[in-house]
Amino acid sequence: MARTALNVIQFTKYNQAIYPFDYYVECLSTDTGAISVLASGADEANEINYNDDALIGSDGEALYAEAPTGKYVLKVEGFLKAPDATTKQFEFSMNKPDEDYLLVVANTATVATYYVECLSTDTGAKKVVAEDATTNQINYNDASLVDAYGTALYTDAPTGDKYVLAVSGDKQITILKGNSIQGILDQTYDLRHGGTYYIRLESGRFKNTYGDDKGKVVLETTDTLVKAAVLCFK
């Protein structure tokens, strides 16, 4: 089953900080995964505009103040990871039973309710209209018509028929019980929008001791906007 393998960070007194976001470093054009930095017009997976909000360095600051010439970058995965898009599951190997494990979970949705585009046949779907919304409709410039980060979903009235569905910004994550004698119940946590949570894991309760998932802890969330990682320390 497809799952995202979580980062497990060995946390010691020497750790200064753990940068949680994806960032970029410069590289050669011949490096695998190299992304070309453009002044504008990036529309391919291997291109990015120099002023793209995502193009930050390891310090969290913009990598370029002005458009460079002939530069290439590589994306570095941050501390937190999103779950597998299909199964919405994570996993990690609990290799050190004598150490403590702390699950770090962030709900990256920042608003209580947001909208996503959907089919007209979806239950609860609302049609996006230019003005004078009636039942089961919403004006394109309605203040509530935002994405998960609070940004307006439309800046102009969309062309053609568009439908949207309201989604709760509050999510959940479930740590699935292990298959040892201590693995009795799954544990589910509610994740408020914009919240970051730290959950201590009990290895005997959640670790699988045999089978295909031997040595692993498996987690499942309700949405890909939930990101996670694991700290391991004594």
Clarify whether residues 105 and 65 are in a common domain.
no
What is the percent of the chain where pLDDT is above 90? 73
Three-state DSSP class for residue 203: helix
Strand partners, 152: 146
Among residues 164, 217, 153, 220, the alpha carbon closest in space to that of 191 is found at: 220
Q: Which of 14-28, 126-140, 153-167 is predicted least confidently? A: 14-28
**Mean pLDDT value across residues 169-188:** 94
- Whether the per-residue pLDDT at 168 is higher than 80: the answer is yes
Asked if 53 and 184 touch (Cβ cutoff 8 Å), the reply is: no
Q: What is the pTM of this model?
A: 0.77
pLDDT value for 183: 87
Clarify whether residues 159 and 213 are in a common domain.
no
| CATH number of the domain enclosing 89 | 2.60.120
Asked if 167 and 116 touch (Cβ cutoff 8 Å), the reply is: yes
pLDDT value for 149: 93
Neighbour count for residue 159 (Cβ, 10 Å):
6
Structural domain range at position 27: 21-77
- Please give the tally of structural domains in the chain: 3
